[in-house]
Structure 1
Amino acid sequence: MAFGVNNITILGNLTRDPELRFTPTGTAVASFGLAVNRSIQNKTSGEWESQVDFFNVTAWYKLAENCAESLSKGDRVLVSGRLSQDSWESKEGQKRSTVRIIANVVAPSLEFASCKLEKNPRAEEGVSAGNTQNGGSIEEVDFSDEDIPF
């Protein structure tokens, strides 16, 4: 069976502050709206008209927590993820559906703003370059140019 591709990347402005919730098992989930403005030319009048598309975005886990902490209504962000369709039946028996974006990446647009990144500590144990917590140490490796294979 062949699989399809489900990727979306959009740039827009938050329509509301991210709402952070937690599932019963403690998993963080944040949701926010995104407005994407675009212009189209009216073929009859030749004038440019502004149109807006609205998207609901959902982020999970640490990304959700970071979105809730860092973003607010009006912020311009780039969102990359996949589309997800939810279907249900209303109380009146009508079938309903909606499409939302499940975010893999949410990043500020630096087109009209600047930001300072504050990296979160990594969840994994061990030693990384420049980090000697947990009693680890970093050894210097001594090698000569003759050891390099090129």
Structure 2
Amino acid sequence: MLNRVVLIGRLTRDPDLRYTPNGVAVATFTLAVDRPFTNQQGEREADFINIVTWRNLAENCAKYLKKGSLTAVEGRLQTRNYENNEGRRVYVTEVVADNVRFLDGGKKSETKPDLEDPFTGEAEPVDVSEDDLPF
């Protein structure tokens, strides 16, 4: 049997990090994944997929991901069910991720305001002779 899912999309909200009574981290978020075609109005539609991560991966997702982050998720599709307060059976389908890639890159480092850019105002052409070139 094979149950593998690979998705690339953007988070619709910040990840929700919680801990089980035993102290195991679990983070959930929703990934908006564009469909490969447009509707009759020429607009691209998206599917909203629920993602669940566990342990260290959950803590890293909560730490580094935020609403709008471009993210790749690899995992397995899982369906669970429960009975709600009204006595109705509710079915939930979600991806249990075992690999998450942060595609937006690392956090941008802030430039310290007291450091000057050494190239500010350097729009002058550089004088290079033929002897300076290695080719």
TM-score higher than 0.5 = yes
- CA positional deviation for 1:38: 2.1
- CA positional deviation for 1:98: 1.3
- Residue 13 of structure 1 corresponds to 10
The number of residue pairs the alignment matches comes to 107
What are the superposed Cα offsets for residues 69-109 of structure 1, whole Å, 9 maximum, x if unpaired?
Answer: 11100000000000110112233333220101101011022
* Partner SS, residue 24 of structure 1: coil
- Residue 78 of structure 1 corresponds to 72
- Residue 55 of structure 1 corresponds to 49
* Partner SS, residue 77 of structure 2: strand
Are 1:90 and 2:84 counterparts? yes
- Residue 136 of structure 1 corresponds to none
Are 1:36 and 2:30 counterparts? no
- CA positional deviation for 1:9: 0.4
1:39, 1:49 within 8 Å by CA — same for their partners in 2? no
Determine the C-alpha separation between the residues in 1 that align with 2:20 and 2:86.
28
What are the superposed Cα offsets for residues 11-58 of structure 1, whole Å, 9 maximum, x if unpaired?
Answer: 00001111111111111111111101124255xx6x633111001111
Which of the residues 110, 114, 129 maps onto 2:105? 114
Superposed CA RMSD: 1.8
- Residue 98 of structure 2 corresponds to 104
Gap regions ≥5 residues in structure 2: 108-135
Determine the C-alpha separation between the residues in 2 that align with 1:22 and 1:94.
27
1:56, 1:101 within 8 Å by CA — same for their partners in 2? yes
Equivalent residue letter for 1:80? E
* Partner SS, residue 59 of structure 2: helix
**Higher relative contact order, chain-length normalized (CA < 8 Å, sep 6+):** 2
1:30, 1:59 within 8 Å by CA — same for their partners in 2? yes
Gap regions ≥5 residues in structure 1: 117-150
